[in-house]
Amino acid sequence: MQKRVKTMLSVIAATTVVASTATVAVEASSQKQAEAAVEYRESLFHLLKSNMGPLGAMAKGRLAYDAQVMKTNGMRIEQLADMMSDYLSIDTRKFDVHTEAKDSIWEDFSRFESKIGELKKAASALQVAASSGDESLYRGAISNVGAACKGCHDDYKED
């Protein structure tokens, strides 16, 4: 039993080290890979937008607050944010692809990853606020998710 616990702790420690290692941006190796990378990251952002839509409507009073939708969408946004580093780590600048991504993503990828961390933190806090049942926290939590999105758009998305 003690050996099994030690083995589990070793696996957890190794997993934590791997999970906490920053993703490194790499150049696309072909036009085909660059096109696929753009398609995948655009799909990711479409999913993000579909989860933000109801939250924005709630924050603006166009939809009634729904704690379950907030929890679900907060969880999805957090999961999508977990994928962002992987899907945006392919630097497509050297290829002829239509993208709204600014070069600054790959010029300082660690800064970009910190913005992703802000989104994950805000999405997690949204889930906590929704679980609290305290409607006075809802608008601020939704606003923080929106601000995290806007922070990335301002710095990393072409208009």
Binding-site residues for heme c, in ranges, read: 149, 152-153
> DSSP assignment, residue 131?
H
Nearest to 27 by CA among 95, 83, 111, 81: 95
Neighbours of 28 (CB within 10 A): 19
Q: Cα(58)–Cα(75) distance, rounded to whole angstroms?
A: 17
Q: Cα(145)–Cα(126) distance, rounded to whole angstroms?
A: 8
Nearest to 156 by CA among 98, 86, 101, 80: 101
Binding residues: 149, 152-153
Nearest to 52 by CA among 121, 103, 126: 126
